[in-house]
Structure 1
Amino acid sequence: MGENRIQQNEMSRRSFIVGAAAGTAGLAAAGLFSGCSAQPNTSTDNAEKTNSPTIPEEFTDGVYLTKAISMHGPINVKTVIADGAISEVTVLNNRESYVIGEAAINSMPQRILDSQCIDVDCVTGATLTSMAIQNAVSEAITLAGGDPGNFKGYQSPEPKEADVERECDVAIMGAGMAGLMAAWKLAENGKSVMVFEKMPYVGGCMPITSTAWNAQDTIIQKAWGTEQIFEAWSSVEAQLQSYREGRIEPDNPYYNPDMPFITPMFDAARDATDMMINIGVGFCPISDWPAPQLAPGAFSIGGKFCLDIVKNYLTYQLGVEIITEAPVTELVTNEGAVTGLVAKGADGTVYHIASKAVMLASGGYISNNELMEQYQPDELKFPLMGPPWATGDGLLLGQEAGAALETMDQGVTSHYSGAVSHAEISYIHYVCPGVVVNGSGARFVSENMEYKQALRVFKDQPTTDFYWVFDEVSRQGMVPSGNSYRLDYTFLLETGDATEAGNYQELAEKLNLPDLTATLDAVNECARNGAVDEFGNEKLRAMLLDGNMYAIKVTPTPYIAQGGLKVDPACHVQKEDGTPIAGLYAAGDVVGSVENRDGAMYRIGLTQAIAYGLIAGETMSAEL
């Protein structure tokens, strides 16, 4: 059942991308191909003829500009046809994530060019971006009068298998931030380290986060001045106190007021941040965001530069060996102790590694259908948008070695995504202030709720239709210059995620939301009186209901499943009875949220990965 559901989600995304690509008009240079006419025409037939490009009867050389919708919006591609062949493919602009989407942007055009096939292998982990480029080139061939079927039939080269035997002090499965921080500390302490990563890039979730984490008493915070920072974020002790006073939940089955997992996390997050600063990783001024945020800006661009610096420092200065596209397939054990691993590279090389310790830092399991059906079946009401590497490999290997699982009952964490395009839009409520309503147009939750926890409330609604509703003033926040995050959400008007109407009554009618007008009237009444609404929201503002109104159809999309390998605060992987498995350590999403272990809801996974990666490195350094 789970497998069919995921396949349907993937097909809906693919169908949308194909449809979006086919629906865009290609333009050719030097008059070889004309684009859409801007002349008005009241006739539907004439309008279709005017806006539809003229396709030549023969395959025609030229420059064709096409676009397709990908994970984060449109991708514009230039395809040059010369002498009946593809002579150039260039991605002109895009909104894809740095590192991950960038991997497809950088390699797919050359793959298509070299093979003359549009159905070349997609870049692992960047499937949607790869498919968008393929679709854009396919449309260019069609617009040139050619048959895209003539440019299919790609055959992947057969890898040449070879066995390699190696030794090291520590072998690490996964080159996300947990694995990289552990490798850093180990190598600084003189240990030899090999890191195996199944994706073609390093960094794990770093490139798809806001690139901010929760750390206090850092160099940058001290320089900024603690008096400029929110009190609860002004020091490690202040942050721990905020957990004691509200974030850990006494009715949670894992409640522990001593916070043995959370307490060391903040000390390690501070130390890890300072380590990065000392090798040149840039951070933005703190301003109104009290956590360290990577420079030169929010979101994946900061993560890209951080990863470049950290990876180069580890490999060139500390001698850490990082092998990408080499998934770990087996843990080697001897009399109950883990003594190495086996990994298989994309080129066919099989690595047999003997080591004194193995660390699992391979990510979570949300992209594993069977595990989700087993542990999180209630969350499958919505489409999953987890990272492609989160297939539970490390969790399963750990279990084979005798490890127990813990906190598997803590649910999932979700993004907001566009219900039509499936583009991730988790910050829409920050950049476009408004209200969220259900399929009838009624409010049911505070808009101040963190998007990470939204699924807990959304899944209890009888419908999966939800809308983010806002006015013309808030719409200005859809452009990068209109919000402090420099996000561009204007593409939602192109993809069909966003609906525009002349006023709120018209919007309610367009979307068949019978309760919307009464809902927005009540919101305005509450805002004008300065009252707190029934959901405890103190920040409602009056809307311009008689001007243009907008609604974005959103859906919660689970991206992290909580729970994972049982570990102690020093990162030893444990059996059911709490005894450690000799030689085996773990950190990051493979162990789930360490906050859950003390009875707190998940907050910032990047904090946990960076901090506990460092803790794991310190533990292994001391024990080897």
Structure 2
Amino acid sequence: MKETISRRNFLKGALATGTVMAGAGLVGCAGGGSPAKADAPTADVAGGEKGRWSWSVKPDPITDVAETIDCDVLIIGAGAAGVPAAMYAGLEGIDTVVMQKEATVQTNGQGFGTWNNEWGTEQGIEWDIPTTMQAFADLANGKANLKLVKNVLERTGECSKLIIENIPEPKASPAIVDGYVAYRWLYDDDLSTRYKAFADLYAAMGEKAAEHGVNFLYSTPAVQLIVDESGAVTGAIGERKGGEYVQVNARKGVVLATGDISDDDEMLEAYCPVMLGMPTLHAVATNTGDGHKMGMWAGAKMDTPSVGLMMHFDPTPLPQGAAPFSAVPWLHVNVNAERFTNENVGYQALATAVAMQPEHRAFQIIDSHLLEHAFDYTNGGRPADEKALNGAVEAGQILKADTIEELAGMAGLDAAALQKTIDRYNELVDKGNDEDFGMASEFFVWNGIKDAPFYAIERMPGKLAVCGGLASDERCRALKEDGTPVPNLYVSGNVQGSFFGYDYPVVGFGGFSLSRAATGGILAVKQIMGTFDEPIA
């Protein structure tokens, strides 16, 4: 399916990342060194010292090994980064083993954002990577290794080509969004199939890798890297279900592809505390920072907090399901019926603001004019048409009432407090000046809450991914505290740091989380094999 659509229309069905680009993200996914202070997230990992965190103490080497396997490349993790890396390695005939925590391939999300894409070139896109890099740098808060970002970004097109050529079903569905190519994988061009199809895509890549000789050790989480006397990583120890240990020796290198930290509350406390207490959107809560911890024990440096977070309204942890109009900058009130923020901010920023409210919940409030400008806002919200509105009301995802008092009762809000908030809001709308929170007047004046029927839309963000990990150079090598590589240790996906800023950039780079994971995993294997600068596909 070929289509060219605006960002707003694309986001109508695609603001769940994991994802978008797991994670993620849209299209929608640990530091050694000198001793740390007691309240710092990094710690001395030398044996015998008690530190602030459970991973502060490097565990004793495991020696009671029941089986030993030798290979050239060991990939730890069969998810967003590990599976494409394994398929590439298999296609190249590289002797490869994959250790996977779960019994199957695991991933979250719905698609890729890609640049230097051949399909996009055919549609008339003139790729301008320097301009794209400027836009990324503006969003990265000075935290990104921009050489790494460039190496990955400009090869996402090659990565998607490799996947599409080798996995014809489910079918890739491209669209041009903000000047880049976004892929979703669908069945029968049906957008509602995007999550299942993306999971099936990864399962098919895993099967392709196995067909080409890659040895998958399922239900065998890696628990410790093997480090020789010179400090080089030479393999890993995995633990099988019965408690036996298997040692995999990797002659050329080890790729960490273990996902993020968002399912580990202690790591969230250390690196991304705003996510504490938030519900997860992962199908399986396996993102517990295993690779971060093992990397720290091997001498790698962790990104300095705060790390990039991906915490979105779509999909939703709310039982009624995801409603349209997410992040559209209408009045937002918390469970105390109080306005708490400037609503005209980016999608992730608004989700963060809601997460910081009591019960991590809020309600969008608007009146009968909600559709008049639904597609005119510019902050990355998810607009919809009258059919979608009526369907969401019917499904109980949007509350509708003829009076504010009735609406408050339906939402469980104090009616007098809500009316007071709305009266103040309407006063400012009539002035054309948001004196309380400073929303841009061009949008604010559309948002009066005066004419019935009135609507309330409950919002609660769920955690998708923490996009920060071990420091990395431009060739996916994990770095020590002094900036030199840990020999033979490579990072990809959300165990790789040095990439995103404090927030994942949904607008302008949707789907980059997953495409950078897939591309970075492949590039890590290529670096190990000495072919980094050769084409992927």
Fold shared per TM-score above 0.5 = yes
**Equivalent-residue separation in structure 1 for 2:208 and 2:469 (angstroms):** 30
**Equivalent-residue separation in structure 2 for 1:372 and 1:190 (angstroms):** 39
Aligned to 2:402: 502
Aligned to 1:571: 476
SS in 2 for 1:567: coil
Q: Is the 8 A contact 1:174 1:361 kept in 2?
A: yes
SS in 2 for 1:355: strand
Aligned to 2:122: 223
Aligned to 2:228: 334
Q: Deviation per CA, 1:223-267: give whole Å up to 9, x if none.
A: 33328xxxxxx54344224335x3244xx4x377xx222211211
SS in 2 for 1:213: strand
Task: Tell me which amino acid in the other structure corresponds to 2:215.
Answer: E
**Equivalent-residue separation in structure 1 for 2:349 and 2:313 (angstroms):** 10
Structure 1 gap ranges (5+): 1-96, 101-160, 228-233
- CA displacement at 1:534 relative to structure 2: 3.2
- CA displacement at 1:443 relative to structure 2: 4.4
Deviates more, 1:415-424 or 1:381-390: 415-424
1:30-41 residue pairs with structure 2 within 5 A? Answer: none
SS in 2 for 1:263: helix
Task: Tell me which amino acid in the other structure corresponds to 1:587.
Answer: S
Q: Is the 8 A contact 2:331 2:343 kept in 1?
A: yes
Task: Tell me which amino acid in the other structure corresponds to 2:117.
Answer: T
SS in 2 for 1:284: strand
SS in 2 for 1:396: helix
**Equivalent-residue separation in structure 2 for 1:420 and 1:218 (angstroms):** 34
CA shift in 2, pair 1:306/1:572, >3 Å: same
- CA displacement at 1:609 relative to structure 2: 0.8
- CA displacement at 1:582 relative to structure 2: 1.7
Q: Is the 8 A contact 2:83 2:202 kept in 1?
A: no
1:289-328 residue pairs with structure 2 within 5 A? Answer: 290-296=180-186, 297-298=190-191, 299-316=194-211, 318-328=212-222
**Equivalent-residue separation in structure 2 for 1:369 and 1:331 (angstroms):** 23
Deviates more, 1:559-568 or 1:341-350: 341-350
- Which of 511, 521, 532 is the equivalent residue of 1:613? 521
Aligned to 1:180: 83
Q: Which has the higher contact order (CA 8 A, sep 6+)?
A: 2
Aligned to 2:364: 468
Is 2:175 the partner of 1:286?
yes
1:164-563 residue pairs with structure 2 within 5 A? Answer: 164-205=67-108, 209=109, 211-226=110-125, 235-244=128-137, 246-249=138-141, 252=142, 254=143, 259-279=146-166, 280=168, 282-286=171-175, 290-296=180-186, 297-298=190-191, 299-316=194-211, 318-335=212-229, 336-346=231-241, 350-356=245-251, 357-380=253-276, 382-383=278-279, 388-410=285-307, 412-416=309-313, 421=318, 425=322, 428-430=324-326, 434-447=330-343, 449-458=345-354, 464-471=360-367, 493=396, 499-508=399-408, 511-512=413-414, 513-518=418-423, 521=426, 525=430, 534-536=438-440, 538=442, 541=446, 545-563=450-468
Q: Deviation per CA, 1:566-607: give whole Å up to 9, x if none.
A: 2212111121112222221111111246123xx885544213
**Equivalent-residue separation in structure 1 for 2:329 and 2:176 (angstroms):** 20
Q: Is the 8 A contact 1:508 1:517 kept in 2?
A: no
Aligned to 2:28: none
**Equivalent-residue separation in structure 1 for 2:342 and 2:124 (angstroms):** 33
Task: Tell me which amino acid in the other structure corresponds to 1:535.
Answer: M
**Equivalent-residue separation in structure 2 for 1:484 and 1:321 (angstroms):** 49
* RMSD over equivalenced CA pairs, Å: 4.2
CA shift in 2, pair 1:498/1:566, >3 Å: same
**Equivalent-residue separation in structure 1 for 2:202 and 2:317 (angstroms):** 32
Q: Is the 8 A contact 2:73 2:525 kept in 1?
A: no
- CA displacement at 1:525 relative to structure 2: 4.9
**Equivalent-residue separation in structure 2 for 1:590 and 1:557 (angstroms):** 20
Q: Deviation per CA, 1:112-132: give whole Å up to 9, x if none.
A: xxxxxxxxxxxxxxxxxxxxx
**Equivalent-residue separation in structure 2 for 1:453 and 1:573 (angstroms):** 30
**Equivalent-residue separation in structure 2 for 1:483 and 1:569 (angstroms):** 47
Q: Is the 8 A contact 1:567 1:574 kept in 2?
A: yes
**Equivalent-residue separation in structure 1 for 2:195 and 2:293 (angstroms):** 30
Higher share of residues assigned helix: 1
- CA displacement at 1:424 relative to structure 2: 6.9
**Equivalent-residue separation in structure 2 for 1:554 and 1:332 (angstroms):** 45
**Equivalent-residue separation in structure 1 for 2:156 and 2:407 (angstroms):** 46
Identity %: 23
**Equivalent-residue separation in structure 2 for 1:311 and 1:486 (angstroms):** 39
SS in 2 for 1:402: coil
Deviates more, 1:164-173 or 1:294-303: 294-303
CA shift in 2, pair 1:484/1:613, >3 Å: farther
**Equivalent-residue separation in structure 2 for 1:423 and 1:192 (angstroms):** 48
Q: Is the 8 A contact 2:348 2:503 kept in 1?
A: no
Q: Deviation per CA, 1:267-317: give whole Å up to 9, x if none.
A: 12121111122222632241667532223254413313422432232222x
Q: Is the 8 A contact 2:104 2:218 kept in 1?
A: yes
Q: Please tell me whether Structure 1 or Structure 2 has the larger radius of gyration of its CA atoms.
A: 1
Structure 2 gap ranges (5+): 1-18, 23-63, 375-382, 507-511, 533-537
CA shift in 2, pair 1:505/1:225, >3 Å: farther
Deviates more, 1:367-376 or 1:261-270: 367-376
SS in 2 for 1:177: coil
1:66-145 residue pairs with structure 2 within 5 A? Answer: none
- CA displacement at 1:509 relative to structure 2: 5.9
Task: Tell me which amino acid in the other structure corresponds to 1:605.
Answer: S
- CA displacement at 1:194 relative to structure 2: 1.2
Task: Tell me which amino acid in the other structure corresponds to 1:607.
Answer: S
SS in 2 for 1:293: strand
- CA displacement at 1:322 relative to structure 2: 2.3
**Equivalent-residue separation in structure 2 for 1:345 and 1:411 (angstroms):** 32
Deviates more, 1:334-343 or 1:369-378: 369-378
- CA displacement at 1:169 relative to structure 2: 0.8
Q: Deviation per CA, 1:93-140: give whole Å up to 9, x if none.
A: xxxx9xx9xxxxxxxxxxxxxxxxxxxxxxxxxxxxxxxxxxxxxxxx
Deviates more, 1:394-403 or 1:341-350: 341-350
**Equivalent-residue separation in structure 2 for 1:430 and 1:243 (angstroms):** 24
CA shift in 2, pair 1:561/1:431, >3 Å: closer
TM-score normalised over the length of structure 1: 0.60
**Equivalent-residue separation in structure 2 for 1:263 and 1:219 (angstroms):** 18
**Equivalent-residue separation in structure 2 for 1:571 and 1:238 (angstroms):** 23
Task: Tell me which amino acid in the other structure corresponds to 1:373.
Answer: E
Task: Tell me which amino acid in the other structure corresponds to 1:216.
Answer: W
State the number of aligned residues. 438
Task: Tell me which amino acid in the other structure corresponds to 1:172.
Answer: I
Aligned to 2:493: 588
**Equivalent-residue separation in structure 2 for 1:383 and 1:181 (angstroms):** 28
Task: Tell me which amino acid in the other structure corresponds to 1:304.
Answer: A
